[in-house]
Chain A
Amino acid sequence: MKQDIILAGVGGQGILSIATVIGAAALQQGLYLKQAEVHGMSQRGGDVQSHLRLSSDPIYSDLIPRGGASLIVSLEPMEALRYVPWLAKDGWIVTNTTPLVNIPNYPEMDKVVEALHKFPHVVAVDADTIAKELNNPRGANMVLLGAMSTGLDILEPDQLREGIRRVFARKGDAIVEANLKAFDAGAAQHLEEE
């Protein structure tokens, strides 16, 4: 079994935390994993992506082949669209709906929404609002992780919860609990949308 995931967003949004949690869970389950990250110049507010590959068998390429990703998970709606050439024909897009506008020529929002909903499997989650309602404004990435968790066949939601505990343990129980809540709120969203 294998699963290839594109994580997308804008430098500074926290896509690497999503990757770290999934990575911790995968390592715990003895899965093979490759996770290509973007470091350096693009982290200064540019578009960033991470190729996350999970498999029960050895993985060769650090990059996901185009057309091979079963999931695009994006913290920003336009950034989800940037990687559609990587999406498998039957793949899912799970995206945050709040745009991050740091460029003068950001497209009109309804055009972005329209383009997104042309794809057969889209889950759009207002992760920013949900995270704010939970008093955890920096937890939007964990909301999104929750939203994608039911579409992730290779790891169980409980294994991801354990991943959150491991990754955030050194930041204290309060942060762990807040992130678990954000995760659960995201997971509930996905079910409603389906």
Chain B
Amino acid sequence: MAQKNLLLGDEAIALGALHAGLSGVYAYPGTPSTEITEYIQLHPLTRERNVHCKWSANEKTAMEEALGMSYAGKRALVCFKHVGLNVCADPFMGSATTGANGGLVIASCDDPSMHSSQNEQDSRFYGAFAMMPVFEPSNQEEAYAMTRAAFDYSEKRGIPVLMRMTTRMAHSRAVVESGEDIREQNTLHYPEKPRQWVTLPVNSRVRNRELIKDYAQFEADAVASPFNRLTDGPDKRMGIIACGIAYNYLMENFPDGCPYPVLKVSQYPFPRELAKKLAGWCQTILVMEEGQPLVEEKLRGVYPTAITIKGRLDGSLPRDGELSPEAVRPALGLPAVELYPASEVIAPRPPALCQGCGHRDFYTALNNVLKDYPGARVFGDIGCYTLGWMPPFNSLHTCVEMGASLTMAQGAAFSGTWPAVAVIGDSTFTHSGMTGLLDAVNENADVTLCISDNLTTGMTGGQDSAGTGRIEAICEGLGVPKEHIRTIVPLPKNYPDMEKVIREELEYHGVSVIVCRRECIQTLRRHASKK
């Protein structure tokens, strides 16, 4: 029976994948994508069908594991936040060359306005880059339907599909009517064209030409897609191209129907034939898209044309940040709504490390020691502990991307920085810090690596951490001398011991690791209430 569910955009993708006969989800947690995998982990169908749902160590391993599942003929879903696509860019690009055997869908969730991220990168660029189709649902119901369609399409055309979503829909609930038919899982079967799965130049040159041809077919499919829709309107002074969720902000402003012709775009390659048709009706085209101006740049080109293009690049819409119902009004020629002004009384309330969090005690001890080392630089990483940059700690000098703490510390140490301290969490360490530690060991870099181990992936809500219980063994295995792997428990009563250990390892001119271990208080509370 058709069922009505109140689902986050993330959950709609998850349910769509399960109903499409999913055999495995492969993912690393990252806001705003985490809830896709979490929904699958808790769904009864997952247990019933033994769907793979364990977190991967990072996005690259996730992408490769899913590609292996696709090779074996089964349907796989990969999920991560937009910057995770950078981490797995190599296998992602490679998967366009191998193509998909079992349906392969890669869900990448972008974060315009950077609610919980370091940049606004738009995953759609990767689609064109890899010559891969991109699906971009505009609402939760479409997210469910398009995920199902994406698996079918992936198998029909033998290509992975990149599913792009942004924060606002990922984390917004709406009523989703799910289908009655739950598709069976695929059985084990191998690719009909095995050569393209071995990407030696001799094979890849052939495959590349095929893919170029296929890409034209993908565009023809996008022109014919039910998810792309050209609707005429009586007022031809302007035509509107609305991509993904931007379509909602357009329609919100016209409750009685949009007077302008509209091209709704949710499937790429960009359907140029439909855009040409629209330009046949209207001399001015407004491009509304969430994220970077990908379509707008494509239409604008370099040389002047008879068509006027409006969008984020000419100031008609904000150049950065996510769109909103009111942000698009001026571009639509609508008057501003009269508002209460923002209150002058309020103070900002930035996020902070929880009271009682072990990272707090670690930073307190580190700061106490570093008072005596004015030349010290502390290289941070991605996680809750990045909040140590903020007052009252002000402990960090850098934070760039997952794993960059220790490697940047090495470069700085070689350049004369002393002491060079790296701070990384346990999950980030196993995500992409271990290889950097091997570099440090191989050149006996004068660095001190502090692994603030809270036994979980904290910032995203407490998912399993890949190296729990094995952090010291990993460091030893990578070649850090056993006597320079020190473990401390971050608690106020231990400050004297902690400071002694930190001081000793700073004074050691080689690679040392300080594992600072106490369970995340959020997961501790959850574990306590379960008992």
- Name the residue among A43, A60, A62, A85 with the largest chain B CB count within 10 angstroms: A62
Q: Given A85-B341, A85-B342, A107-B346, are A60 and B252 neighbors across the interface (CB < 8 Å)?
A: yes
Cβ–Cβ < 8 Å partners of A85 in chain B: 339-342
Task: Check if A47 sits within 8 Å of B6, measured CB to CB.
Answer: no
B337 in the interface (beta carbon within 8 A): yes
Cβ–Cβ < 8 Å partners of A34 in chain B: 172-174
- Name the residue among B174, B337, B340, B348 with the largest chain A CB count within 10 angstroms: B340
Cβ–Cβ < 8 Å partners of A115 in chain B: 343-345
Name the prevailing secondary structure of the B interface residues: loop
- Distance in Å from the Cβ of A59 to the closest Cβ of chain B? 8
Cβ–Cβ < 8 Å partners of A78 in chain B: 345-347
A-binding segment of B243-251, B416-424, B430-438, B464-472: B243-251
Cβ–Cβ < 8 Å partners of A107 in chain B: 345-347
| Interface residue tally for chain B (C-beta within 8 Å) | 50
Size range of the interface on A?
35 or more
- Distance in Å from the Cβ of B428 to the closest Cβ of chain A? 15
- Distance in Å from the Cβ of A56 to the closest Cβ of chain B? 13
B277 in the interface (beta carbon within 8 A): no
Task: Check if B326 sits within 8 Å of A33, measured CB to CB.
Answer: no
The complex places the Cα of A105 from the Cα of B349 at a distance, in Å, of: 9
A36 in the interface (beta carbon within 8 A): yes
A-binding segment of B186-194, B350-358, B369-377, B475-483: B350-358
- Distance in Å from the Cβ of A157 to the closest Cβ of chain B? 21
The complex places the Cα of A18 from the Cα of B375 at a distance, in Å, of: 50
Q: Given A41-B459, A89-B338, A115-B343, are A27 and B115 neighbors across the interface (CB < 8 Å)?
A: no
Task: Check if B460 sits within 8 Å of A40, measured CB to CB.
Answer: yes
B492 in the interface (beta carbon within 8 A): no
Task: Check if A65 sits within 8 Å of B387, measured CB to CB.
Answer: no
A83-95 interface mask toward B, CB cutoff 8 Å, 1 = contact, 0 = none? 0110101000000
B35 in the interface (beta carbon within 8 A): yes
Task: Check if A27 sits within 8 Å of B168, measured CB to CB.
Answer: no
Cβ–Cβ < 8 Å partners of A81 in chain B: 343, 345-346
A188 in the interface (beta carbon within 8 A): no
Cβ–Cβ < 8 Å partners of A105 in chain B: 347
Cβ–Cβ < 8 Å partners of A43 in chain B: 351, 461
Cβ–Cβ < 8 Å partners of A87 in chain B: 340
Task: Check if A44 sits within 8 Å of B339, measured CB to CB.
Answer: no
A134 in the interface (beta carbon within 8 A): no
Task: Check if A84 sits within 8 Å of B340, measured CB to CB.
Answer: yes
Task: Check if B349 sits within 8 Å of A36, measured CB to CB.
Answer: no
The complex places the Cα of A147 from the Cα of B174 at a distance, in Å, of: 25
Which A-chain residue is minimally distant from B350 (CB atoms)? A46
Could you write out 27 A-B pairs with CB less than 8 Å apart? Answer: A24-B6, A27-B175, A33-B175, A39-B35, A39-B461, A40-B459, A40-B460, A43-B461, A45-B349, A46-B349, A47-B349, A60-B139, A61-B252, A61-B324, A63-B249, A67-B326, A68-B325, A78-B345, A81-B343, A82-B346, A85-B340, A85-B342, A103-B347, A103-B348, A103-B350, A107-B345, A115-B343
5 additional contacts, CB 8 Å, given A37-B172, A107-B347? Answer: A41-B351, A44-B459, A62-B245, A111-B345, A119-B340
